[in-house]
Amino acid sequence: MPRIPFDQLPDDGRLWIFPVSRSLSEQETEGLLRRVDAFLDDWAAHGTPLTAGRDWREESFLLVAVDESSAPPSGCSIDAMARILKELGAEWGMSFLDHAPVWFRAGEEVRRVSRGEFKRMAETGEVDLETMVFDNSITRVSRLRSGEWERPAAVSWHRRAFFPAVAREG
């Protein structure tokens, strides 16, 4: 069986992080994970099954990773994953593939705002270099496990993008 628990994937596994554009009900979450599991059970690259796993975090992020040592994903297999997520998004009126918003933690709440809104919040001091931000562009399981996914804006690409005066000083 190619689908394995996410925590059993190797550190060098290829990772994709798909943020959801709205909150999901419990039923939607269960349906999403069932559909993703069914996809991963049959996920293959050029006929070779892929060893992959998924995780659901912060009620906002679908994580999918593949053990490339068993078989690397192909462009077609990655496109198939994107296609199923696009179809699910269309069914439920949401997106998994929009990486433009900024995701950050406000207290215990995970928030999603446009880049323009996050810039405004940085300018007014509503968010600062200590604000915990999510870097959904990381592509290795090791980076997730080492804490590079959620960390202060001061040590993320967010510093250069949204705090340019501070970035020049540091």
DSSP symbol at 133: E
In the numeric block, which tokens belong to residue 48?
């070779």
Q: What is the pTM of this model?
A: 0.92
Residue type, 3: R
DSSP symbol at 21: S
Closest-CA residue to 21 (of 97, 78, 118, 91): 97
Per residue in 73-106, pLDDT (tens digit) is: 999 999 999 999 999 999 989 999 888 999 999 9
> How far is the C-alpha of 17 from the C-alpha of 59, rounded, in Å?
13
Kindly tell me the sign of the dihedral angle through the C-alpha atoms of 75, 147, 130, 106: positive
Per residue in 18-77, pLDDT (tens digit) is: 999 998 899 999 999 999 999 999 999 999 999 999 999 999 999 999 999 988 999 999
In the numeric block, which tokens belong to residue 38?
């069914």
